[in-house]
C-alpha cells in the first residue's frame, strides 16, 4: 500500500471517529477539524444523499445580472482551466460570496455523474448546506484551500477533491470563489496552485477594469470641464503646435488653428518687459493681442507647461481670457451698472415727454449722444435709461464727471496707464474708463470742462475706436457707446476757443435737451409726491403736505432743478414730527421771497458761474491736499515734490504760499 493511500485511509478513520463522537487523533489538518465542528453546530447531516438546494429562476437571474462583470472577466480564465481537465470528469465553477454557483464548465455528463451531480448553476456549496468543502470552507477562512476525500464532512463528497481560491475586491472583501473539483484519485497538489494563479489573474483583471473605469470617469470629468469652461483653452505639443482647442477657444478665434504654430495667434509674443512668451515656463495673465477672425482681441494669456517624469516639457496648456470678460465681471461687482429706466423719469409735461420720446428713439442706435441741460435736471437718469434700452444693456455703464477730476489726472482716468508711466503709477498699470466700458456705455458728465490738451486724445479715440494707455504702445480696440452731458452751451465754448470744434461735431450727433424744472411747472406736484412717497417707504412712515406747501413750490423758480426739489422734500420730511409738512418746514429763502419767481433772466448763466467756481474750489482743494500729501511722503523735500508734480521749485513755492502750506 502506498503512503498516499495509507494517509487517505487514516483520514477516513479519523472522520468516522469524529462522526461517532470518538477521539480522532491529530492526523487531520486543523482547518478541516474546525470546519467539521462548524458543521456539527450547523446540524449538517454527514450521511444525507439529498441534492443541494437550488436558487429559484428569478433569484438566480437577479444574481447573474448583479455579478455580470465578475462572470465576464472570469469566464476566459475558467475556459483555460477547463482545457487542462476536459474529459476527465473535472468541473470548473465560479460562485458568489455565499457559495452559489454562477458559472461552470464541465463534461456533458457532469449533472448525471453521481460524483458531480451537485454542481449546477444555482446550487449552494456553503458549509451549512454542503458541509466541509473547498468552496464553503474557503469562504469561512478567506484563504485558498484543497479538500480531498474523507476531509469532506458529508460522505457523498468523499469521492471528490476540490481546490478553491477566494476572489477579493479592492477593499479585500470576498466577492466570489473559483473552484476546480474532480475525482479524488485524479487530483494533484499542483491543482490548487493553478486555481490560485487563475483567481489572482481574475483579481488583476478586475483591478485593471476598475482603474480603467476610474480613468474614464476622470477623463469624462476633465472633458466636461474642458468643453464647458468659459475661458478659451488651447493645448499644444512640445513644438508649440496646436493639437486641441475647447469650444470657447474656437468661438473666440473663429477659425481653424489646429495643427498650426500657436505663435501665429498672437500679434506679438513679447510682454511689456520685453520677455518672449514660451511654453517652457509658466506665466500668468500676460496681456497679449490675439488675432481672431473678427480682428485683434485684447486678452490675458496664462500658460502652464506639461512636463514628463523626467522634468522635460512635452507641451503646454494656454488659457485665453478676453479682457472685456474680466472687465465685465469687475464692473458687475464693482457697481458699474445702470439701474434707472425711462419709467423712473417722473413727469407728464409736454417738455419732458418730448425729451423722453427723443431719447427712446435714439437709444436703439449706436450714435453718440449729447445731453444738454442745467445742473440737476437729471442728465444721468436719461443716460442710464438710454443705456438700459440700448443693444449694449448687458454691458457695463461707466460714468465719469470731467469737472470733478484735476486736469492732470483726467487723461489717466480716461485712457489708463502702464506700469511706470509716471511717478506714483500703480504697479501693473491701470485700465482707463474706455477699457472698462468696452461693450457698454461710457457716460461723460460735464464734458465741456475737459481740458483742451485731453480733447485731442479724446477725439482720436472716438474716431479710431482704439485707445493707447499712457506710457504704453499697444492700441486696444474699444467698442463703446458714448453719451456726453453738459450744462454749458458747447457752441459758445467753441466760439470762445475752450472747446474743439471737430470734437463738438463728433459729439453732437444726437442732441437731447432736458428742460429745466421752471419750464415744466406741472411736473412739480408729481415729483414732490414721488420723492415724499419714496422717503416714506424708506423710513416706514407716511407723509402729507398742506395745500399751501404745494402752491409755494409751484411758484418757486427752482434754479437747482429736480435735484433741488428732492433736497427740499428730504429736508421738509426730516423736520416733520407728525408726518405733516407745512410751510415752516420749507427753506426760508423759498418761503420768504415775496415773488417766488424773481430770478433774473441771467440766472442760468449765474448758475453756470457758480458751478464753475465750485469746481475750481474743488480743484484747488485737491491740489492743496496733493501737495501736503507729497510733502509728508518725502519728508518736506521740496525738490522731490516739484519733480513728481512736474513743476519748478519756484512754482511749487508759489502754490504753497497761496494755500498757506508751511514746510
Q: DSSP of 397-442, one letter per residue?
A: EEEEEGGGS-TTTHHHHHHEE-TTSSTTPPTT-EE-HHHHTTTSEE
Count of C-beta atoms within a 10 Å radius of residue 133: 29
Between CA 447 and CA 560 the distance in angstroms is 19
pLDDT score of 605: 37
Q: In which residue ranges of the chain is CATH 3.40.50.300 found?
A: 335-515
CA nearest to 486, candidates 602, 599, 608: 608
Residues of the chain with CATH 1.10.8.60: 518-592
Delimit the CATH 3.30.450.40 region(s) of the chain: 3-211
* Helix, strand, coil % over all residues of the chain, rounded to 5: 50, 20, 35
| pLDDT band with cut points at 50, 70 and 90 for residue 335 | low
> Angle CA(402)–CA(403)–CA(409) in degrees, nearest 5?
60
Q: Residues with Cβ < 8 Å from 57, sequence gap 6 or more?
A: none
**Which position has the grid cell 487563475?**
198
Cell numbers for 510, please give them.
444726437
Q: Which three cell numbers stand for residue 263?
A: 505663435
Return the closest-CA partner of residue 331 out of 479, 475, 438, 465. 438
pLDDT tens digits for range 202-234: 999 999 999 999 999 988 888 888 888 888 899
Instruction: Report residue 646 as a C-alpha cell.
Output: 512736474
| Burial tier of 137 (Cβ tally within 10 Å: 0-12, 13-18, 19+) | buried
Nearest CA to 125 out of 179, 48, 70, 204 is that of 179
Q: How confident is the model at residue 136 (pLDDT cuts 50, 70, 90)?
A: very high
Q: Which residue has the cell 486641441?
A: 244
For residues 551-556, give the mean pLDDT: 88
Domain with CATH 3.30.450.20 in the chain: 231-328
Lowest-pLDDT range, 356-360, 409-413, 529-533?
409-413
Strands 510-513 and 369-372: parallel
- Fold type of domain 231-328: Beta-Lactamase (3.30.450)
- Return the beta strands (E) in 100-173 as ranges: 101-105, 145-148, 160-168
Instruction: Choose which CATH entry (3.30.9.10, 1.10.8.60, 3.10.580.10, 1.10.150.120) describes domain 518-592.
Output: 1.10.8.60
Query: What's the CA gap between 426 and 90, in Å, rounded?
Result: 85
Lowest mean pLDDT among 80-84, 272-276, 292-296: 272-276
Pick the CATH number of 335-515 from 3.30.200.20, 3.90.1150.170, 3.40.50.2000, 3.40.50.300: 3.40.50.300
CA 88 to centroid of chain Cα atoms = 66
SS (H, E, C) 274-303: CCECCCCCCEEEEEEEEEECCEEEEEEEEE
More confident residue, 626 or 43: 43
Lowest mean pLDDT among 325-329, 347-351, 496-500, 538-542: 325-329
Mean pLDDT of the chain: 85
Name residues whose C-beta falls within 8 Å of residue 172's C-beta, 6 or more positions apart in sequence. Answer: none
Q: Please name the CATH architecture into which domain 603-658 falls.
A: Orthogonal Bundle (1.10)
- DSSP H helical ranges for 86-177: 127-130, 134-141
pLDDT band at 608 (very low <50, low <70, confident <90, very high): very low
512-538 pLDDT, tens digit per residue, is 999 999 999 999 999 999 999 988 888
- What's the rounded mean pLDDT across residues 553-570? 90
Residue 183 cell numbers, joined: 475525482
**What pLDDT was estimated at residue 596?**
41
Kindly tell me if the per-residue pLDDT of 597 is higher than 50.
Answer: no
- Find cell 415775496 and name the residue: 594
Do 403 and 367 form a contact (C-beta atoms < 8 A)? no
Between residues 297 and 524, the one the model is more confident about: 524
Give the alpha-carbon dihedral of 484, 489, 490, 492, to 10 degrees.
180
Domain at 3-211: CATH code: 3.30.450.40
Phi, psi of 233 (to 5 degrees): -120, 130
Distance CA 382, CA 514 (A): 9
Lowest-pLDDT range, 173-177, 498-502, 610-614?
Answer: 610-614
Q: How confident is the model at residue 146 (pLDDT cuts 50, 70, 90)?
A: very high
**CB contact at 8 A, 515 and 356:** no
What residue ranges of the chain are covered by domains with CATH 1.10.10?
603-658
pLDDT band at 358 (very low <50, low <70, confident <90, very high): very high
Share of the chain above pLDDT 90, in %: 38
How far apart are the C-alpha atoms of 283 and 281, rounded to whole Å?
Answer: 7
Amino acid at each position: 500500500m502506498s503512503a498516499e493511500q495509507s494517509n487517505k485511509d487514516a483520514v477516513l478513520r479519523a472522520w468516522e471517529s469524529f462522526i461517532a463522537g470518538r477521539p480522532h487523533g491529530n492526523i487531520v489538518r486543523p482547518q478541516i477539524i474546525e470546519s467539521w465542528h462548524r458543521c456539527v453546530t450547523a446540524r449538517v447531516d454527514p450521511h444525507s444523499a439529498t441534492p443541494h438546494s437550488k436558487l429559484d429562476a428569478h433569484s438566480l437571474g437577479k444574481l447573474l445580472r448583479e455579478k455580470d462583470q465578475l462572470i465576464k472577466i472570469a469566464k476566459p480564465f475558467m475556459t483555460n482551466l477547463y482545457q487542462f481537465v476536459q474529459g476527465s470528469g473535472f468541473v470548473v465553477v465560479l460562485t458568489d460570496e455565499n457559495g452559489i454557483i454562477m458559472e461552470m464548465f464541465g463534461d456533458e455528463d457532469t449533472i448525471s455523474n453521481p460524483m458531480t451531480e451537485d454542481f449546477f448553476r444555482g446550487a449552494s456549496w456553503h458549509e451549512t448546506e454542503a458541509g466541509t468543502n473547498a468552496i464553503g470552507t474557503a469562504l469561512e477562512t478567506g484563504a485558498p484551500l484543497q479538500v480531498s476525500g474523507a476531509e469532506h464532512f458529508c460522505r457523498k463528497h468523499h469521492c471528490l477533491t476540490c481546490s478553491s481560491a477566494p476572489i477579493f475586491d479592492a477593499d479585500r472583501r470576498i466577492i466570489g470563489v473559483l473552484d476546480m473539483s474532480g475525482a479524488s484519485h485524479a487530483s494533484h497538489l499542483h491543482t490548487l496552485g493553478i486555481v490560485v494563479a487563475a483567481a489572482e489573474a481574475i483579481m488583476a483583471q478586475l483591478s485593471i477594469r476598475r482603474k480603467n473605469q476610474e480613468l474614464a470617469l476622470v477623463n469624462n470629468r476633465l472633458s466636461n470641464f474642458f468643453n464647458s469652461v468659459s475661458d478659451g483653452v488651447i493645448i499644444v505639443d512640445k513644438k508649440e503646435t496646436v493639437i486641441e482647442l475647447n469650444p470657447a477657444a474656437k468661438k473666440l478665434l473663429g477659425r481653424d488653428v489646429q495643427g498650426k504654430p500657436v505663435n501665429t495667434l498672437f500679434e506679438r509674443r513679447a510682454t511689456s518687459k520685453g520677455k518672449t512668451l514660451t511654453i517652457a515656463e509658466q506665466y500668468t495673465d500676460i496681456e497679449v493681442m490675439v488675432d481672431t477672425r473678427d480682428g485683434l482681441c485684447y486678452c490675458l494669456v496664462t500658460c502652464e507647461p506639461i512636463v514628463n517624469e523626467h522634468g522635460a516639457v512635452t507641451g503646454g496648456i494656454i488659457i485665453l481670457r478676453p479682457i472685456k470678460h474680466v472687465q465685465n465681471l469687475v464692473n458687475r461687482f464693482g457697481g458699474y451698472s445702470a439701474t434707472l429706466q425711462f419709467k423712473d423719469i417722473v413727469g407728464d409735461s409736454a417738455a419732458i415727454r418730448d425729451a423722453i420720446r427723443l431719447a427712446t428713439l435714439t437709444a436703439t442706435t449706436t450714435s453718440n449722444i449729447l445731453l444738454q441741460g442745467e445742473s440737476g435736471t437729471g442728465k444721468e437718469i436719461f443716460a442710464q435709461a438710454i443705456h438700459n434700452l440700448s443693444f449694449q444693456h448687458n454691458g457695463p455703464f461707466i460714468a465719469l464727471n470731467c469737472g470733478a477730476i484735476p486736469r492732470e489726472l483726467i487723461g489717466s482716468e480716461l485712457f489708463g496707464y502702464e506700469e511706470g508711466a509716471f511717478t506714483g503709477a500703480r504697479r501693473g498699470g491701470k485700465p482707463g474708463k474706455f477699457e472698462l466700458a468696452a461693450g457698454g456705455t461710457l457716460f461723460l458728465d460735464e464734458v465741456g470742462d475737459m481740458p483742451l490738451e485731453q480733447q485731442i486724445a479724446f477725439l482720436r479715440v472716438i474716431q479710431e475706436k482704439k485707445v493707447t494707455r499712457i506710457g504704453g504702445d499697444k492700441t486696444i480696440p474699444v467698442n463703446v457707446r458714448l453719451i456726453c452731458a453738459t450744462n454749458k452751451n458747447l457752441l459758445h465754448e467753441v466760439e470762445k476757443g475752450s472747446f474743439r470744434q471737430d470734437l463738438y461735431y463728433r459729439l453732437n450727433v444726437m442732441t437731447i435737451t432736458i428742460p429745466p424744472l421752471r419750464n415744466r411747472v406741472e411736473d412739480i406736484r408729481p415729483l414732490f409726491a414721488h420723492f415724499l412717497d419714496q422717503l416714506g417707504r424708506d423710513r416706514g412712515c407716511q407723509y402729507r403736505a398742506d395745500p399751501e406747501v404745494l402752491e409755494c413750490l409751484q411758484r418757486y423758480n427752482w434754479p437747482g432743478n429736480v435735484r433741488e426739489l428732492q433736497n427740499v422734500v428730504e429736508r421738509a420730511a426730516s423736520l416733520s414730527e407728525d408726518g405733516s409738512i407745512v410751510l415752516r418746514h420749507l427753506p426760508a429763502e423759498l418761503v420768504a421771497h415775496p415773488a417766488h419767481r424773481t430770478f433774473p433772466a441771467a440766472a442760468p448763466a449765474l448758475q453756470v458761474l457758480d458751478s464753475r467756481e465750485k469746481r475750481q474750489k474743488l480743484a484747488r482743494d485737491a491740489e492743496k491736499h496733493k501737495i501736503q500729501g507729497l510733502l509728508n511722503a518725502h519728508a518736506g523735500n521740496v525738490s522731490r515734490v516739484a519733480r513728481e508734480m512736474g513743476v519748478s521749485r519756484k512754482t511749487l513755492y508759489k502754490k504753497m504760499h497761496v494755500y498757506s502750506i508751511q514746510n
